[in-house]
Chains A and B, each alone.
Chain A
Amino acid sequence: MSSLAARRRHPAALVIVLLFGLIVTGGLYAALAPKNADAATSSSSDIAAGKQLFLSNCATCHGVNATGGNEAPDLVGVGAAAVDFQVGTGRMPLAAPGIQAEADTNGPQFDNKQISQLAAYVASLGPGPGIPASDLTSGGGDIAKGGELFRVNCAMCHNFAGSGGALTRGKFAPSLMDVSGKHMYEAMETGPQSMPVFNNTNMSPTDKKDIISFLQNTKDEPNQGGANLGNLGPVPEGLFVWTIGIGLLIGAAVWLGRKAA
């Protein structure tokens, strides 16, 4: 140790320390950067930037320490997945108080970098589910198994074809046709708003992958029987038949009964 200390003013010492620092930084980067999905490897600067974003956009409701308010839930331990879902679909920041937070049709209010910074900050508050790896959310699973799981666990709210459906007092389960696989996975994992939680102890990551594959397949499937009228079940189909179908029949009957001359 003393010999090292003695040589600390050697002309080469600066170069060696610089080289050492670069190798360590590069090595760490190489080790951590590729798995950008689950680890989210949030640097302290991301967390700091996320905290600034949080304070200026979210703290009014969720509190400066993210411990919740009158209407807003405590965010300690909800994890990066909840933030990525709520902010990434435009549900948060909430546009206006309402019966439920709806996905913003104009897309999220933040860019991907800001969302990951916010997620990093909230994830740093307490351990929670992370953002899923892309191989779990981009399909390729067992579609038949996914369909069975979907019909048992999801179809009662989200409709047999994922077209969404009504809940109580104006709330509704949204259509799943235009939801990305990542957001579906995060919703199952975290149980946003009225939705129950289907985390990994309930439904394994492979099960979730199967469900996402089933829904992506359903979306791509051509309509076997012509116009599907939104796949909403008997109400729009009945309405179509009772108005347009019977209207056409009445028109035909009137034409048949008219004299030619």
Chain B
Amino acid sequence: MTTPSNPSDKESSVTHDSTSEAGDDRALVSLEHREGSDNLPERFQDPGLPAHIHRAGDSDEAAARRYERQVAALFAISMFATVLFVVSYFAVGNDTVVSLPIIGRTMALHVSLGVTLGMSLLCIGLGAIHWAKTLMPDTEVVEERHELRSPDEAREGAVKILADGLEGSQLKRRPLIKYTLGGALGLFAIPLGLQLVGSLGPLPHTDLETTLWDSKLPGGKPRRLMRDPDGTAIRLSDVTLGSVFHVLPEGIDATPDPNNEKLKAAVILISLQENLIKSARERKWGVDGVVAYSKICTHVGCPVGLYEQTTHHLLCPCHQSTFDLTEDCKVIFGPAKRALPQLKISVDDEGYLVADHGFDQPVGPSFWERA
């Protein structure tokens, strides 16, 4: 810092500022660059470290003994809390419920174990810090830094050791060893990488493009729409106006991996007034205003389940992507980029809703090489 630090100079500048409101020209004067006066020292002295302030315990033996007792008391509280932890582990019942302020009704065992363990650990920490702050030496210590570079003789010596080693290994004279060693070390990387890449699981093949709706039942019949989780079939007459059914394909529990199938095949079945539907395709693929859409969000695959009966909006709970059910589930808000795929449904000869064929596009979020 080389700003003028002459006290008298500073003083005058302050008084000047305080009167500067009198006129604009005077205020301008104070903004001008001002040369420092000549009585600056040639060199500023290193102020050094601030004076060391002694603590009470450094000079007063009685105070030091008091600190000792305080630290010991903290450690003793920790021991007491640990004993309480063990006692409450055995003494407090598994089902005992206590009412606490703010928290409300909660498990007595969890509270007692948590509080005693916390007290035990906290008092060890507090005791150690109090000990270090009041009794351990607190004098400032200077540690000089050394040059990191080794002396030249040591550096040359190290290079010579390496060169001698290379010469002694005869790698230069016997290239066969050099190349076979390189090959052996290089190939050794393969087993390490192979278990990583090879254990990534089976290739997806067409798993991402197809759902259980694409396949028929063993008898060749189309799959019915079944209530989740009951697994009961749905009649068209069951779906009254404003109703929402959460649907899975018939026979999903008979597949080898039902959970994987549910991830893709979940469908939401909604009934709305047919004249509200603006998309002709949507009307055609539904039955009397009852339409079925994939429940898997096209953003990152959350289940799109929030249906607002009054606005006909279908909302994803994860990132608020909103789909308009009257316009073929077009995205009207949020991060999703594609409309939800529709499932073409019809009524079979027994009056139950069935899926005519699978979705016409992959369900769920985008993936590599999605058509």
Contact surface of A with B, Cβ cutoff 8 Å: 148-149, 152-153, 156-157, 165, 167-168, 171, 173, 191, 193-199, 201-202, 207, 222-228, 255-256, 259-261
Contact = CB atoms under 8 A, between A and B. Distances in A.
8 contacts: A193-B309, A196-B243, A197-B240, A197-B242, A199-B240, A199-B243, A202-B227, A261-B54
Contacts of A224: 106-107, 110
B111 to A, nearest CB: 7
A194 B310 contact: yes
Interface string B157-181: 0000000000000000000000000
Q: Which 9 A-B pairs have the closest CB atoms?
A: A156-B305, A260-B133, A201-B238, A196-B244, A194-B308, A197-B242, A222-B105, A261-B55, A227-B103
A227 B303 CA distance: 29
Contacts of B103: 223, 226-227
Contacts of A153: 244, 246
Contacts of B68: none
A152 B311 contact: no
Interface in B92-140: 97, 102-107, 110-111, 114, 129, 133-134, 138
A196 B237 contact: no
B310 to A, nearest CB: 5
A200 B32 CA distance: 87
Per DSSP, chain A at the interface is loop
B182 interface: no
A178 to B, nearest CB: 14
Nearest to A199: B240
Given A198-B243, A202-B240, A260-B55, 18 more contacts: A152-B228, A165-B317, A167-B306, A168-B311, A168-B313, A168-B320, A191-B243, A191-B309, A196-B309, A201-B243, A202-B238, A202-B243, A222-B104, A222-B105, A224-B107, A224-B110, A226-B111, A261-B55
A207 B229 CA distance: 11
B307 to A, nearest CB: 5
B229 A191 contact: no
Contacts of A201: 235, 237-240, 243
A259 B138 contact: yes
Nearest to B238: A201
Most chain A CB within 10 A, of B303, B308, B320, B322, is at B308
Contacts of A165: 317
A152 B245 CA distance: 10
Contacts, number: 102
Chain B interface size, as a band, is 35 or more
A167 B308 contact: yes
Nearest to B232: A204
Most chain B CB within 10 A, of A197, A198, A202, A256, is at A202
A99 to B, nearest CB: 11
Contacts of B133: 259-260
A84 to B, nearest CB: 19
Contacts of B311: 168, 194
Nearest to B108: A222
B360 to A, nearest CB: 26
Given A167-B306, A171-B308, A201-B237, A261 B138 contact: yes
A51 B97 CA distance: 50
A226 B113 CA distance: 12
B14 interface: no
Contacts of A191: 242-243, 309
A196 B242 CA distance: 5
Interface in B294-337: 303, 305-311, 313, 315, 317, 320, 322, 333
